[in-house]
A and B are shown apart, each in its own frame.
Chain A
């Protein structure tokens, strides 16, 4: 079986055009990431800030203590007052301090209190809804209270790299294009050369062959996805010159202040990779299913572009996306805000629901691909009965 999977993999994916496309797309990706850096990083907009930041970081960065805050404010306040009076060097330095230290420090310092406030309010709401007999809302608020009761940010780190990594989704298009290109031929190839009949007469030809193709495709999609997500991660780290901040919780980034997750940024990045891979796999299985059902290349290609394109467009147009695998590809929006879906009175976090439906779809598609018992080409009226 393993040999068969390897053969299928070699036949369909270890081809020169695929490799060339992967390399070209990786270059394109790198280029795109560097333009994200150019456009969005504080230090690419203000190159002279970096040296200052690196000098001050050991002093005010790291673990947040009362003393550091007091020192920082003692340094910042006069500068700001001076800067307001005479715009110039002081103003810029004050701006830099404000952007790089004061604002993040204030956010981190106040976060514990705010999260506590949220938890407290959620508990009150839970009580209130209990009185009103609204069990669902009560459960929901209890969950929120549980999530927020013990949140704090204890360290100030340079998290810009993670912030932009988690919001980057150009590579998703590249991976999807590669997946479509790689998978359309998997089942069609033998049909086009009319070797399908021959295949059915061999011992490992029927379901085993389909299973091998399916597994090889899954391996291909996973490998391509992980390759791109890891490349993104490394490129972001290299360009922003920092992998720092991986230990901070995800809510250390302000965009994720009300995130349903509370894992550290590094694990969150890994988790996002996993979510995106599942999303890509669902789309990959769609392509494979079309390839299984059709007899030539053009239709699965066009059909999958149509299906995937409409999923992405529907997601982009803010149509309800709980059943849309595209929401996994842009998982930052799932991590962005605590959001529940009412599942028979039980509040389920949206990301869990999306992941669940995606896994369900994945299973169904795989099963259909595996157990599709359509006979050989049209016009050939015999079924191969023996196995």
Chain B
């Protein structure tokens, strides 16, 4: 036991192991804090979902199916009732009081609409295989089970903690001394191996516990006895496992992977007593095989890489669409439990062989190579290393460009109002810009010079045939913004994919153009480490109604929601969910929109809070607030002094 204690003191005190472990835990927490729910809709409407799941959660029976279908029918009936009622009101057929009475019942029905929508989506998935796919709140399980990247902080912490176990003594040439001791040699080496195993397990357990507690706190882990196939990423798996079993299997496999990496490092350092070749070898074994190889090879090879990304062992067949013929082909074949055991056995045999080699190295043979300096900077290295870990952990698939400095001097400028109805045109003192379609239904953004009457296109790029321009623009002072999407031509494929979405800024003074936001719509090949799903966010952007932007975000308006994309991270988050979104306006601080009851709602961007502005029913509004309905045109009292007193007005 004394030997273990001495080893512990060496590792934790003299080699600052405590610091590394602390940094490891901090970076794990940091990565977890960037976690986003797998199903944002279900997360946002958790209460409604739970309400539904209480009634129909679990196995999808005939009654549940019937209930869901009836509920869906009722929802759509209520929805159309509301729409008809409002149409009648706008046509002047009924009064407001009657309207209120008519829509009251449908609206109570529609209260849980978003939650129901999330459940219904899951039902559509579960319906394909009702015996294995149950209904449940999946966010917690998805957070635990469906990610498949490498746990980089863990790997780097392993490098830092385990590499010096043999190297440290090797480089001060004390390993020869240890061979002469009574309990040196194989005995010491045995304790070292045992000790490294304990450290690896402790790191694994602590990392796992942090993750588990975080997920339990944030999402909860209900219904752990449901089958694995309830999660869509395991939908095609044929393994008969419950969610908890899957989770325990996953963490066990990950522990096997890190133990295997541990043995690799010990083997290398014991044999060479040098850092460089061992680190090179381990980097190659883990990172190259994960980034470079196809999944079939990654999981076929014995060694740490596959086990460190364990979810692949449990997934089912994955199909992909053949880019040439459009047929679906198998991209990944499921690994059976027998295959998994075989791979485990192979890896274990390899590890045993390596341990035997390490032990042999520490018995009879005197070492020849030496390693001569003391690493005074190792604490700094660790900090740098783990920062790298943190960085690489959170640098996900998001893509973005830094915010342009030009935005910072924009604040002082004249603030304009943006209305969704004006998404197709914008006017300044000199120009009027309009989105028009010609006889071939091709979209043109046309600039009209108010003084001379001259017309010319806004998009003045020689390569304009190579991308698609979206039919919405946003203007602010002398700046006009438009969106274009470029088509990906890197591969010969049947259907066209988008490469980038670019929000372009045109300065109306001299028509110079610059890119404000650049979002990558496909996946980049470089360092494109494993991901099982392709991001299909471009379909969202194709259905845009309008957009506007401020210093930090670009806000996109689609028919069901308003979401924003940060210049810094490029991540899209839904800001306002509003089914039947009919009109939106923005005055620089607040977003005004009509909710599903056609009431004007103010959403304050600084406070992130919604507030219903008036009880008046309206179909459209403009800033400053003149309200128009089909029946009457009257202006309501000014809501915001700065809005009303502005010199700037539309229409």
Is B283 in contact with A320, judged by CB distance below 8 angstroms?
no
Q: Mark A135-152, 1 if CB is under 8 A from B, else 0.
A: 011000100110010000
Assess whether A21 is interfacial by the CB under 8 Å rule. Answer: yes
Assess whether B380 is interfacial by the CB under 8 Å rule. Answer: yes
The secondary-structure label for the interface of chain A is helix
Is A95 in contact with B384, judged by CB distance below 8 angstroms?
no
Contacts of B513 in A (CB 8 A): 137
Q: Known: A137-B512, A167-B490. Is A193-B372 also a contact (CB below 8 A)?
A: yes
Instruction: Name 10 interchain pairs, CB-CB below 8 A, sorted by A.
Output: A32-B293, A118-B462, A121-B464, A134-B510, A137-B510, A257-B466, A297-B371, A306-B388, A316-B524, A316-B528
Assess whether B291 is interfacial by the CB under 8 Å rule. Answer: yes
Interface size of A by CB at 8 A reads 75
**Which of A184, A193, A297 has the most C-beta atoms of chain B within 10 angstroms of its own C-beta?**
A297
Contacts of A25 in B (CB 8 A): 284
Which residues in window 258-311 of A have CB below 8 A to B?
A: 258, 294-299, 301-303, 305-306, 309-310
Q: Which of A119, A254, A316, A319 contacts B489 (CB 8 A)?
A: A254
Assess whether B354 is interfacial by the CB under 8 Å rule. Answer: no
Is B463 in contact with A299, judged by CB distance below 8 angstroms?
no
Is B324 in contact with A35, judged by CB distance below 8 angstroms?
no
Which residues in window 355-390 of B have CB below 8 A to A?
A: 371-378, 380-381, 384-385, 387-388
Assess whether A45 is interfacial by the CB under 8 Å rule. Answer: yes
Is B392 in contact with A134, judged by CB distance below 8 angstroms?
no
Is A316 in contact with B526, judged by CB distance below 8 angstroms?
yes
Assess whether B400 is interfacial by the CB under 8 Å rule. Answer: yes
Q: Known: A299-B380, A306-B385. Is A191-B276 also a contact (CB below 8 A)?
A: no
**B residues at A contact (CB < 8 Å):** 274-277, 279-280, 283-284, 287-288, 291-294, 297, 322, 324-325, 371-378, 380-381, 384-385, 387-388, 391-392, 395, 398-402, 456, 460-466, 489-492, 510-513, 518, 520, 524-528, 570
Q: Which residue of B lies closest to A136 (CB)?
A: B512
Contacts of A145 in B (CB 8 A): 462
Is A318 in contact with B384, judged by CB distance below 8 angstroms?
no
Is B292 in contact with A40, judged by CB distance below 8 angstroms?
no
Is B395 in contact with A305, judged by CB distance below 8 angstroms?
no
Q: Which of A191, A306, A309, A317 contacts B373 (CB 8 A)?
A: A191
Distance A193 CA – B371 CA, assembled complex (angstroms): 8
Is B510 in contact with A117, judged by CB distance below 8 angstroms?
no
Assess whether A221 is interfacial by the CB under 8 Å rule. Answer: no
Is A338 in contact with B512, judged by CB distance below 8 angstroms?
no
Assess whether A242 is interfacial by the CB under 8 Å rule. Answer: no
Q: Known: A128-B460, A148-B462, A319-B402. Is A174-B384 also a contact (CB below 8 A)?
A: no
Contacts of A45 in B (CB 8 A): 322, 324-325
Is A301 in contact with B275, judged by CB distance below 8 angstroms?
yes
Which residues in window 84-134 of A have CB below 8 A to B?
A: 95, 99, 114, 117-119, 121-122, 125, 128-129, 132-134
Instruction: Name the distance in Å between A296's Cβ and chain B's nearest Cβ.
Output: 4
Assess whether A244 is interfacial by the CB under 8 Å rule. Answer: no
The secondary-structure label for the interface of chain B is loop
Q: Which of A125, A172, A184, A298 contacts B381 (CB 8 A)?
A: A298
Q: Mark A179-191, 1 if CB is under 8 A from B, else 0.
A: 0110011000001
Q: Which residue of A lies closest to B326 (CB)?
A: A95
Distance A301 CA – B378 CA, assembled complex (angstroms): 11
Contacts of A173 in B (CB 8 A): 287-288, 291-292
Contacts of B372 in A (CB 8 A): 192-194
Contacts of B294 in A (CB 8 A): 35, 39
Distance A45 CA – B525 CA, assembled complex (angstroms): 20
Is B462 in contact with A121, judged by CB distance below 8 angstroms?
yes
Assess whether A23 is interfacial by the CB under 8 Å rule. Answer: no
Q: Which residue of B lies closest to A164 (CB)?
A: B491
Q: Known: A137-B511, A309-B392, A316-B524. Is A255-B490 also a contact (CB below 8 A)?
A: yes
Q: Which residue of A lies closest to B381 (CB)?
A: A302
Q: Which of A17, A99, A125, A132 contacts B324 (CB 8 A)?
A: A99
Assess whether A169 is interfacial by the CB under 8 Å rule. Answer: yes
Distance A298 CA – B511 CA, assembled complex (angstroms): 53
Instruction: Name the distance in Å between A351's Cβ and chain B's nearest Cβ.
Output: 17
Instruction: Name the distance in Å between B294's Cβ and chain A's nearest Cβ.
Output: 6
Q: Which residue of B lies closest to A318 (CB)?
A: B399
Contacts of B325 in A (CB 8 A): 45-46, 95
Contacts of A184 in B (CB 8 A): 276
Is A318 in contact with B520, judged by CB distance below 8 angstroms?
yes
Assess whether A330 is interfacial by the CB under 8 Å rule. Answer: yes
Assess whether A42 is interfacial by the CB under 8 Å rule. Answer: yes
Is A134 in contact with B489, judged by CB distance below 8 angstroms?
no
Distance A114 CA – B387 CA, assembled complex (angstroms): 49
Contacts of A141 in B (CB 8 A): 462
Instruction: Name the distance in Å between B422's Cβ and chain A's nearest Cβ.
Output: 25
**Which of A134, A185, A320 has the most C-beta atoms of chain B within 10 angstroms of its own C-beta?**
A134
Distance A169 CA – B276 CA, assembled complex (angstroms): 24
Is B527 in contact with A312, judged by CB distance below 8 angstroms?
yes
Is B526 in contact with A317, judged by CB distance below 8 angstroms?
no
Q: Which of B381, B402, B510, B526 contacts A303 (CB 8 A)?
A: B381
Q: Which residue of A lies closest to B291 (CB)?
A: A173
Distance A121 CA – B462 CA, assembled complex (angstroms): 5
Q: Which of B283, B292, B402, B525 contacts A305 (CB 8 A)?
A: B283
Is B401 in contact with A318, judged by CB distance below 8 angstroms?
yes
